[in-house]
Structure 1
Amino acid sequence: MNDHYLKKLDRVTAILTQLQSKPIVRAQDLASKFDVSVRTIYRDVKTLENAGIPIIGEAGSGYSLMDGYKLPPVMFTKEEVLSFITAEKLMQKFLHQSLGNHYQTAMEKVRSVLKYSDRNLIQNIEKQIDVYNYHPKTVDNIQNIIPIILESIAEKKQITLEYATVDSKVSMRTIEVVGVFFEFNYWYIMAFCTLRNDFRQFRVDRILQIIKTQNPFLQEYGQINDYRQNPNGNKTKVRLLVDKKIIGHLSNSKKYYGLIDEVERENGVELIFETDWIKDGFPRWLITFADYAEVLEPESLKVSLKELVIKISKKV
């Protein structure tokens, strides 16, 4: 069997896996995934049909497997098995506690379909991989909270929250969740808040009570990153000139605080931000490396920074 037919066999098998895992698969998406022409995908689908796989759909729309059709368990390669072990170690350290049991049972199902030799491979190597996480896990007030939130997204139903702010003020909010994300060791909700009539972030461990209502969303939403990058229009432009020797230490946090451009200058690196947290969050972050940075604009940030330094000096 020559290389051409081996590639086709791998691709056809992968297309079958895609059909098993998704309700609708478009030819254009498959062509992009496997870096072939759409016409090649049409031929591959025809190959599956000729092999007796009941595929519904046609060129130009999308393909799916006939409802009720069952395939034998998928066999995994050794490389895929090793990737499962590594992913499981990561999940044990960073997965939200409300999802932990669900992930564990899912992994048990994956292990159950592995060949005996692959099970031995897992047993021999899983104790040789570890992930070190120096941040303590947050403790939620509510069990199973993330699944409740994800259900509300899937069903497009509003959620009512009892929420505690950073200064321990408690308020009731009705929200429409766009998505969830993990950042700086915390899980967050990005949602439209009906009280504020705007998009807001809510830290999951500060939710004291949650109720999934039967009220439908009042509007449609895009992807979560669309709102994280531009949660509202009240952004302030900030320009900093930072010493080159500490730029590497800011690689993750600078994006979080709204970095939009980075320009190397003769006497340092100019960082340009658009931030929503000019009054509090940004100055507190900046003070951690303020001795290596110069504020170019705005003037109000210089004032905030000086006030923060004075406040700190009085407590030292």
Structure 2
Amino acid sequence: MNKTDRMLAIVLELQRSGTRRAEDLAAIFETSIRTIYRDVQALSEAGVPIVGAPGQGYSLVDGYFLPPVSFTAEEAVTLLLGIDFVEQQFDVNYRVKARASRGKIESILPDSVQRETVRMRASLKLLAGTTADSEQAEEALGLLRRAVLEERKVHFHYMKKIPEPTGNRQSSRTVEPYGLVYVGGTWTLIAFCNLRQELRHFRLRRMCELTLLDETFKRPPDFNLQTYEPPDDRNILVHILMNRDLLDKVKEYNYFYTEALEDTPEGLLVVLRVRQFEEVLPWVLSWGADAKVLGPASLRKRVQEEIAKMIKHY
């Protein structure tokens, strides 16, 4: 990084972080503390209002703001792809904001960068899955996002899949929404459930009759969605013997429940870790005769029962 780029980066870092010590800046930009002293002095002489506090570090005078001067083609493509994702996966309010953001970014790009950005974007494409109830899901996402921001409770009916013969079960829930997580192509609400009196996860696609309530709540000050990790309660190990020729295909599939893969003389041993058998039953059946359940015995029986039902259809 040359001196000019580093000085600009220092201003943007102070603008982003508030206060930084010379040692911190030296570590970030991989240079010496003495070089940082010289850069800060040069910035001050150029009119950038940087103030230093002994023992605290450097900061910008309140009210000073330096907008990004330019984007490289790679940086612009990164931002525009992020906007594409927001347009596809968020609710209508964010979609409108995303389109406005795209217009602003494209308007400040120099012609040469804009041409290169168009060329690079032509080689990349995001495809969003569509469902018959996508409009309702979009509306629900907007309502839940509002509930999270305004710290208001929501009420809904929740459909949970449970083992046969009971089948699906619907329950009525009132929850305190803490945040929304997008994982594996599905939105999940992290919320404190008033019924269960604990933190629970609710898939958006399993909710119905969603209502935003007037009752408010206070999110715990120690809850941080970015660092939150749900407890892992997958306590059942499933062992499956597969055709070893499928090793590359199984790796490519990158199945969520996979615990281990081992190439044995008998074939490819796949170990899965699950909460209940129904989570992996469709996956096991999808491999047909190339997969054999070694255990638990109860899952072997469950597979046999499902195959017997399939045979009756043919």
With over 3 angstroms needed to count, the CA separation of the structure-2 counterparts of 1:60 and 1:312, relative to structure 1, is: farther
Q: Please tell me whether Structure 1 or Structure 2 has the larger radius of gyration of its CA atoms.
A: 2
Secondary structure, counterpart of 1:68 in structure 2: coil
Cα deviation for residue 54 of structure 1 reads: 3.8
1:96 aligns to 2:95 (yes or no): no
Once residues 21 and 307 of structure 2 are traced to their aligned partners in structure 1, the CA distance between those partners, rounded to angstroms, is 57
Alignment counterpart, residue 301 of structure 2, candidates 303, 307, 314: 303
In structure 2, the partner of 1:268 is 267
In structure 1, the partner of 2:71 is 76
Secondary structure, counterpart of 1:256 in structure 2: coil
Cα deviation for residue 216 of structure 1 reads: 0.6
Once residues 25 and 147 of structure 2 are traced to their aligned partners in structure 1, the CA distance between those partners, rounded to angstroms, is 30
Once residues 125 and 195 of structure 2 are traced to their aligned partners in structure 1, the CA distance between those partners, rounded to angstroms, is 41
Identity %: 22
- CA RMSD in angstroms comes to 4.0
Relative to structure 2, which stretch is displaced further, 297-306 or 218-227?
A: 218-227
Alignment of 1:1-316 (within 5 A): 6-21=1-16, 34=29, 36=30, 39=33, 43=37, 46=40, 48=43, 51-55=46-50, 65-92=60-87, 94-98=88-92, 99-121=94-116, 125=119, 128-129=122-123, 131=125, 133=127, 135-137=129-131, 139-141=134-136, 145-146=140-141, 149-150=144-145, 153=148, 157=151, 159-165=153-159, 167=168, 169=170, 171-183=172-184, 185-205=185-205, 206-211=207-212, 213-218=215-220, 220-223=222-225, 226-228=228-230, 230-231=231-232, 233=233, 235-251=235-251, 254-257=254-257, 259-276=258-275, 278-316=276-314
Unpaired runs of at least 5, structure 1: 1-5
Once residues 306 and 313 of structure 2 are traced to their aligned partners in structure 1, the CA distance between those partners, rounded to angstroms, is 11
Once residues 199 and 43 of structure 1 are traced to their aligned partners in structure 2, the CA distance between those partners, rounded to angstroms, is 49
Cα deviation for residue 174 of structure 1 reads: 0.8
Q: Which residue identity is paired with 2:274?
A: T
Cα deviation for residue 76 of structure 1 reads: 1.0
Q: How many residues align?
A: 302
Secondary structure, counterpart of 2:65 in structure 1: coil
With over 3 angstroms needed to count, the CA separation of the structure-2 counterparts of 1:292 and 1:218, relative to structure 1, is: same
Contact 2:242–2:270 (CA under 8 A) maintained in structure 1? yes
With over 3 angstroms needed to count, the CA separation of the structure-2 counterparts of 1:65 and 1:192, relative to structure 1, is: farther
CA-to-partner distance for each residue in 1:66-124, whole Å, 9 max, x for gaps? 432122443112332344454455555x43243322211122222232234444555x5
Once residues 34 and 305 of structure 2 are traced to their aligned partners in structure 1, the CA distance between those partners, rounded to angstroms, is 65
Contact 1:12–1:44 (CA under 8 A) maintained in structure 2? no
CA-to-partner distance for each residue in 1:43-69, whole Å, 9 max, x for gaps? 487455565444577698686544321
Cα deviation for residue 236 of structure 1 reads: 1.5
CA-to-partner distance for each residue in 1:240-289, whole Å, 9 max, x for gaps? 333233233344655422x233333333333333222x231222222112
TM-score of the superposed pair, with normalisation by structure 2: 0.73
Contact 1:19–1:25 (CA under 8 A) maintained in structure 2? yes
Contact 1:86–1:129 (CA under 8 A) maintained in structure 2? no
Once residues 146 and 44 of structure 1 are traced to their aligned partners in structure 2, the CA distance between those partners, rounded to angstroms, is 50
Once residues 104 and 176 of structure 2 are traced to their aligned partners in structure 1, the CA distance between those partners, rounded to angstroms, is 35
